[in-house]
Structure 1
């Protein structure tokens, strides 16, 4: 996990070495994309978020009521700029790169949600991410009004007590909403979810090199994510890097000796000629 003095990985590591409140979500999402696009400049894309916030302000005049600001935000994103969920190519990795999402105006719930959050935060709106199962949502957390917004479906708005409707779209009424489904997502949570999306996409197509890069960055965000050491070890086994594989598999065993996966990991280590 070493990197040269100036590289997307080193810049990412530096940018996450702070409290969650200090994380610049959009900049970090663009640094995730910079491993795919090494020459990617973040500033023009951050400026584009600024510009969309200014568009909303220009439509508001003297109006400052947060619900009205929210309504104009959704109009700018989904009517003027025509952001939309990429239903035709949901598993295209470009849906997880914020620069591509801003260029193409297509994405998945999470990246479209990041756009909404970043523009909304610039307007002072009380927005937060919600790690809803299989479908990221944005919450308007007002003092009186609590609303859930689907960034993938044109900014559809529901009252929070209507959250079951969102869940039914995924599970067809077979799963009931739990309070944990509606917990606020930290900025680290959103970045980990973004990298987990990429890890899954790359693993499914056998691109282990890119999957390794995703896992390594998850560990920069969550050093205590012990299962990621196991996944990283298994990826290194497939890449024919036994020393790296053994190091991460042993780290997993040291930290999770009682895990259900521990016997399998010990067997893999023995196959590598390493004592567990």
Structure 2
């Protein structure tokens, strides 16, 4: 028997503030596109169960590092959540129901589990949209503690963070000010959009145009003026034979980014589409 737990409506999300978006429920909403029989109550209850199992371990005068150690030991050692190194590009690593069922994920999906459990225990854990590899952060007395959920939640030093960031900054290590900007908390909207972009990239690589169109469409439900999502949905529509939708999306993309590097290629696609009838509704 399914317990009622309504998920948000896609059409309501654009109007919500960046952190008003419910993180777990919207991640489950993304998953429901692929798993229509998914019961969100099951997964909310599972995360609640994790938090309740941890609560006695954190009782009393337990300092913050010890609390985090206990949380990570439970999630990654006892429950067995782990980074899926062997099949990193498996789309199941990005769908929260599969992550909970299989205990395997990529940095951002494991971070969502870690954030949801930790916040239920009163600790203000945030995501960090770090270049290349999603991280989490917790404010401490003398700054912030940065953790790597893909590697059992281990702390990441400032030196390692600079090393990780430098390939994405032209080989230059960030100074203190740049590093703090990079480590700014990611909003719920930013986390969910990064999850969708990861999925969209996987489906583009396998030329799964129906799912490319779907994930791009979901990005636009979260942020309607996301130019790259309009372009990618338009190009997917073209592959699916939906010329009218392709023309509308690509024209809107050019309106939003008239100076984009791929402007000429997109214009050429629009010219090709000009005489094409719509074959797919």
Cross-structure match for 1:272: 273
Cross-structure match for 1:176: 173
Deviation at 1:58, TM superposition (A): 1.5
Deviation at 1:272, TM superposition (A): 1.4
The separation in 2 between residues aligned to 1:9 and 1:154, in whole angstroms, is 29
8 Å contact 1:16–1:23 — kept in the other structure? no
Cross-structure match for 1:211: 212
The separation in 2 between residues aligned to 1:9 and 1:124, in whole angstroms, is 24
Deviation at 1:191, TM superposition (A): 0.3
Cross-structure match for 2:229: 228
Cross-structure match for 1:90: 88
Picking from 64, 67, 72, the partner of 1:66 is 64
| Other structure's SS at 1:129 match | strand
Cross-structure match for 1:191: 192
Q: 1:184 to 1:99 in 2, by over 3 A?
A: same
The separation in 2 between residues aligned to 1:114 and 1:53, in whole angstroms, is 14
**Which residues of structure 1 form unaligned runs of 5+?**
1-7
Picking from 99, 102, 105, the partner of 2:103 is 105
Q: 1:146 to 1:218 in 2, by over 3 A?
A: same
* 1:131 aligned onto 2:129: yes
8 Å contact 2:7–2:25 — kept in the other structure? no
8 Å contact 1:148–1:157 — kept in the other structure? yes
**Larger CA deviation: 96-105 vs 138-147:** 138-147
Cross-structure match for 2:244: 243
User: How big is each residue's C-alpha offset from its partner over 1:225-264, in whole Å with a ceiling of 9 and x where there is no partner?
Assistant: 1222122111111111111110111111222223332222
**Larger CA deviation: 120-129 vs 137-146:** 137-146
**Bigger relative contact order, structure 1 or 2 (CA pairs below 8 A, ≥6 apart):** 2
**Larger CA deviation: 174-183 vs 44-53:** 174-183
User: How big is each residue's C-alpha offset from its partner over 1:105-136, in whole Å with a ceiling of 9 and x where there is no partner?
Assistant: 11000000000011111111121111111100
Deviation at 1:144, TM superposition (A): 2.5
Cross-structure match for 1:4: none
Query: What RMSD over aligned residues (CA atoms) do the two structures have, in Å?
Result: 2.3
